[in-house]
Amino acid sequence: MRKITLPLLIILTLTTLSVLNYRIEATISKTIPITKDAHICSDIPTTNRGSATYISVSHVSAGKCNILIYFPLSGIPSNANILSAKLILYKKKHYSYASGKTFKTFYVYRVTKYWSEGYVTWNKRTSTSSWSTPGGDYATPSIAHFNVYTSDPNKTKYEIDITNLVKSYLAGIYKNYGVIIKAGTSWYGGVQFYSSESPLIQYRPKLIVTYETPGGFSMSLNPPSITISQGGSGTVSITVNPVGGFSQTVTLNVQSKPSGFTVTINPSSLTPGSSATITISVASSVSPGTYTVVIRGTGGGKTATASISITVTEVPFDFTISVNPSSVEINQGESTTLVVTVTKTSGTAKPVTLTLIGLPSGASYSFNPSSVTPTGSSVLTINAGSAKGTYTLLVKGTTDGVERTATFTLTIKEKKCIIATTTYGSEVSDEVNLLRSFRDNIVLSTYAGRQFYIAFNMFYYSWSPYIAQIIHENNWLKTPFKIILYPLIGTLLFATNIIQPTIFLNQEIAIYLAGTIISAMLGIIYVTPLLSILYLLFRFKLQKYIRYSIFSIAGSITLCIMSQVFLLAPLLTIFTSIYIISVMVSAAFIALSIVTRPTHI
């Protein structure tokens, strides 16, 4: 009997060891590092603590802190039978426990919305999206709870059973956004745990999943989750692991992928124990968030899947600025336009505000429009005004902390008072300086003055160079022209002194007042003699022409005001010219009427 029993015992022992050996091959314990964690606090609701070396959960007098933790599960085969899933945390310290209390209870909940480690706060879950409820969106009731005692030394290990939650994530019942840990509110207290950024690697949080797979093969990913920027790509290594002596070739293909993803596998067939490279490319149009790509393996009548978790991050918005043309040359009092083009180079386009830097005093500018959503353009208009010289100007575009610039060269040429310069023999004579000062500091410093100067400039420089040349060639003409110019200079000086008080109140009103005074006086001085000759020749009715000129003054000044209010620059150039001529003619008619009045008595 003993001889029979001994062989039977040997056979039973070998059979048991064989079964145990199969179980060891088919049962896997996988440690999954935590890829995202952060703590969010009500007393600093807009502060992100995703990079802290600890994670804090509390209910204290200052407010509350909650812990968010995310763990990728893509490395667990879809056909795995989950035996257990434990979240592991290590105590860093406890704080602010209520007097006489020796422990604090903390509760674990399933998170229901995506959150970004680098942006999550008490109020916001990403850089642009808010929590529906400040402090985090989660499902109730809690899935687990645990106690932290005051007597627990630092670095105490806590194992929190979340097996059922992991099963539901793997089964696709819920989307995996991780867990949130909240403190009980019965009494005050808080705890800090080591985070995934802790320099003490052995105390970082992790998830340990133990599972079984049937005989055949499993597939593992390295890494199980990756982060890819919009428009970028990344790679993952996939390995076929034999279970129970499996040795058949396994063919890999993409079972499912989100829209905008391109996935390639090289090689697409593997023998157990070998690996392939999966390349994942993400279109620039894919929205930021977490996505899943499922790889399917088939061979020897067996099937397994592996899920890759991809976090798509937003590419920061960036742009370039260009100015066309790159250099311009204009005269004083003139204006020019340039095209500023803002081109998007990455990210989601946002409005870019444009400004011009370096424009000299006396000149002005405007952008139309003043902000551009790239790719787009704006027209930059520069009024030279009284400025002169060559300048390198900077066009700056700004939005959300991003700043880009482009430069161009502006040359403003001074328009010389050529008749006065020739007559008085120098550009720096007192008389020429007075004319130049009036033009630069009064006329060209106002909007209405600049528009009138456009017409005056065209008129004056259409004939003045020829007169200046005649004076230059005939020195005896300088004295008569000095006599002609002195009334003009005196008139400008007189008007300048009269309008000084109004310049400080409103420069636009001051230029109209100056224009009226100067036009009236010049009309009397220069136009009245010509009208007198015509009057002696034709004996026309002065009162009729006085009425006509007054109506012209009233109509043109009204149209000047309307053009200025509505910024109709071309019309303002026309109507200011009509107004000046009307005042000159009207003043001449009135003066002639006064002079000839005794003739009608």
Segment 541-590, tens digit of pLDDT: 888 888 998 999 999 999 999 999 998 989 999 999 999 999 999 999 99
Ramachandran angles phi, psi of 313, nearest 5°: -105, 150
User: Which residues are bridge partners to 82 per DSSP?
Assistant: 211
User: What CATH number was assigned to the domain covering residues 24-212?
Assistant: 2.60.120
Pairing of strands 225-229, 302-313: parallel
Question: Residue 504: its pLDDT value, please?
Answer: 82
**Gap between the Cα atoms of 159 and 164, Å rounded:** 15
Cis peptide leading into 267, omega within 30 of 0?
A: yes
3.60.10.10, 2.40.50.140, 3.30.499.10, 2.60.40.10: CATH of 318-413: 2.60.40.10
pLDDT digits (tens, 9 = 90+) for 73-124: 988 877 788 999 999 999 999 999 999 999 999 999 999 999 999 999 999 9
Instruction: Indicate the DSSP class of residue 537.
Output: H
Mean pLDDT of the chain: 89
Domain 216-313 has CATH 2.60.40.10: yes
Confidence of residue 23 (pLDDT cuts 50, 70, 90): very low
Question: Residue 260: its pLDDT value, please?
Answer: 95
The token pair that represents 176 in the structure block: 């995996």
190 within 8 A of 96, measured Cβ to Cβ: yes
Task: Tell me which H or E stretch contains 105.
Answer: strand 103-111
pLDDT digits (tens, 9 = 90+) for 518-548: 999 999 999 999 988 988 888 888 888 889 9
pLDDT digits (tens, 9 = 90+) for 41-55: 999 999 999 999 999
HSE value, Cβ hemisphere, 13 Å, CA-based, for 449: 26
Confidence of residue 9 (pLDDT cuts 50, 70, 90): very low
**Gap between the Cα atoms of 282 and 231, Å rounded:** 5
Amino acid at 327: S
**What are the boundaries of each domain within the chain?**
24-212, 216-313, 318-413, 418-600
Separation in Å, CA 390 to CA 405, 414, 481: 19, 11, 34
Confidence of residue 71 (pLDDT cuts 50, 70, 90): very high
For 347-450, strand residue ranges (E) read: 352-357, 364-368, 371-372, 376-383, 389-399, 402-413
Q: Secondary structure of the chain: what % helix, strand, coil (to 5)?
A: 35, 40, 30
Report field, pTM of the whole predicted structure over 0.95: no
Question: Residue 598: its pLDDT value, please?
Answer: 60
CA proximity to 501, closest of 489, 513, 491: 513
Q: Does residue 16 surpass a pLDDT of 90?
A: no
pLDDT digits (tens, 9 = 90+) for 336-367: 999 999 999 888 889 999 999 999 988 889 99
Do the first three CATH levels of 216-313 and 318-413 match, i.e. the same topology?
yes
The residue to which tokens 């992928």 are assigned: 257
Return the sign of the alpha-carbon dihedral for residues 278, 282, 288, 294: negative
Residues with Cβ within 8 Å of 411's Cβ and at least 6 positions away in sequence, in order, are: 327, 328, 329, 330, 389, 390, 391
Distance from the first to the final alpha carbon of the chain: 169
Judged by DSSP in three states, 63 sits in strand
